[in-house]
Structure 1
Amino acid sequence: MPEITVSMAEGRTDEQKAGMMRDITQALVKNLGVDADAVVIQINEAPLRHKMKGGKTFVERAAAAKK
């Protein structure tokens, strides 16, 4: 049973996340030959203030991009 964990910053809609999980499921069905019922996918979302890249939180990066 393949288990996939996706870590990402918060902000996507439930529809976007469901679509992503369906696409990942289909990729595993196609490439690994498993049944869709065997695929488990979990999304771990982090608040933008709890995620950092290049020494700046995602909140700081968004603010800098607006300037």
Structure 2
Amino acid sequence: MNVLINLRQAIMQKVANQSDADIKDMILGSVDGDERALPGLGVLFEVIWKQSSPEQQQQFIQVIQQKLKDSPA
């Protein structure tokens, strides 16, 4: 568990002072990329999730469920 906390902290520190364009580039470079990038996207999603209202969280869940149904297995 300590490794996860350190990884989370490292990712947060890496993106803390980046510009919008830098963060977008990081996301675009991670999507459909190397699986090693997935923890970074997970940390970014965690930040969004924690700052979202219950209604927004429910919307995320619905979008995820729909996209999973729509995507080929």
Specify the TM-score bucket, using the shorter chain as the normaliser. Answer: 0.3 to 0.5
Query: Larger RCO: Structure 1 or Structure 2 (Cα < 8 Å, ≥ 6 residues apart)?
Result: 1
Structure richer in helix, relative to its length: 2
Structure richer in strand, relative to its length: 1
Instruction: Name the TM-score, length of structure 2 as normaliser.
Output: 0.33
Based on CA coordinates, which of the two structures has the bigger radius of gyration? 1
